[in-house]
Amino acid sequence: MAGLTYDCGALLAGEQGDRRLWAIHARALQRGVLPIVPTAILAQAWRGGPQPGLARLLGGCHLEPLVESAARNVGAALARSSTTDVPDATVVISALQRDDAVVTSDRTDLERIARVLGRRLNLVDV
């Protein structure tokens, strides 16, 4: 398994105790792969109050901040794809820079953004 990047759907699946997501996560950790969560995705998934499943999942992930160069690439990807979802574009840019697979529950916009960049994503559905 290559690296993994989680989108919001993966985080929400973790919070809901989705067995498929937790199996993917456990296999990644067993193989020494620390999944990446862009901080824009955390902002999209976090709702304040107790979220014990999400907090547990995040304990086995690396949080990736959105730095200026990545933010510029995200904005350019949004313009090229005629989309507006910053977290989706952040996941695409983040995953593509490492050739990560993306764990997602909604592949449509991710595929569209990657396609206009002339790239393909390996998507894992949860």
Residue 88 near residue 108 (C-beta atoms within 8 A): no
Predicted confidence (pLDDT) at residue 49 exceeds the cutoff of 90 = no
Residue-level pLDDT at 125? 96
What amino acid is encoded at 98 in this protein? Answer: R
Contacts (Cβ under 8 Å, ≥6 apart) of 26? none
70: left (phi over 0), alpha (psi -120 to 50) or beta: alpha
Residue-level pLDDT at 58? 97
Residue with tokens 């995040």: 58
* pLDDT tens sequence across 83-114: 999 999 999 999 999 999 999 999 999 999 99
How far is it, in rounded angstroms, from Cα 47 to Cα 80? 30
* pLDDT tens sequence across 62-73: 999 999 999 999
Q: Quick one: DSSP state of residue 48?
A: S
Predicted confidence (pLDDT) at residue 1 exceeds the cutoff of 80 = no
Residue-level pLDDT at 93? 98
Could you tell me the pTM of the whole model? Answer: 0.94
**Structure tokens given for 73:** 């690439």
Nearest to 116 by CA among 101, 96, 102: 96
Q: Write down all domains in the chain, each with its CATH number in brackets.
A: 4-125 (3.40.50.1010)
